[in-house]
Structure 1
């Protein structure tokens, strides 16, 4: 899944300029329509964690990232509990 997303993101970066909208207009970017460099970085970081045998472990608490979370967000660095805590801290 990650390799497929990596290929798609790289291809979208090569295809040409991003269409209007999506960046800064309050709407999330459309997958494959833009080149979201942050998303590509996260996917490549997840592939590196797989290669190092660290995939599926939370970078904050060291616990396991749940299977359902990894299926939904395969590039996740943190478990849902730590991600929620980080989001609450960011909102302050």
Structure 2
């Protein structure tokens, strides 16, 4: 799932950077001027996906970075790039809203 999402994001980025009609690459400013920029959310998602792939390689995938416990199977199926278990993620979200 992570590899497929990474490939999809790379394809999206490449198409956002292409100059319409020429097949050439454009600088980021030009891509932004054409309205086809790689969004902040997409950049963040790419970073999270790539970080999850590193955790897999290092044998750390599936462990919560906050409490050290296991990230539940259902959470990883829903959000494969998750860094925290659901309990810690909820605590982080609640703390951000205070």
TM range (shorter): 0.7 to 0.9
Q: Which has the larger radius of gyration?
A: 2
Residue 9 of structure 1: aligned partner = 9
Where is the helix percentage greater, Structure 1 or Structure 2?
A: 2
Q: Which runs of 4+ in 1 moved over 4 A?
A: 17-20
2:81 is matched with which residue: 75, 83, 88? 75
Tell me if 1:49 matches 2:58. no
Give the root-mean-square deviation of aligned CA atoms. 1.8
Alignment map for 1:58-69 (pairs within 5 Å) = 58-69=64-75
Q: Structure 2 regions of 5+ residues with no counterpart?
A: 17-30
Q: Aligned residues, how many?
A: 80
Unaligned residue ranges in structure 1 (runs of 5+)? 21-33
CA distance in 2, matches of 1:72, 1:57: 15
Post-superposition Cα deviations, 1:3-34, rounded to whole Å, max 9, x if no partner, equal 000000011001024786xxxxxxxxxxxxx5
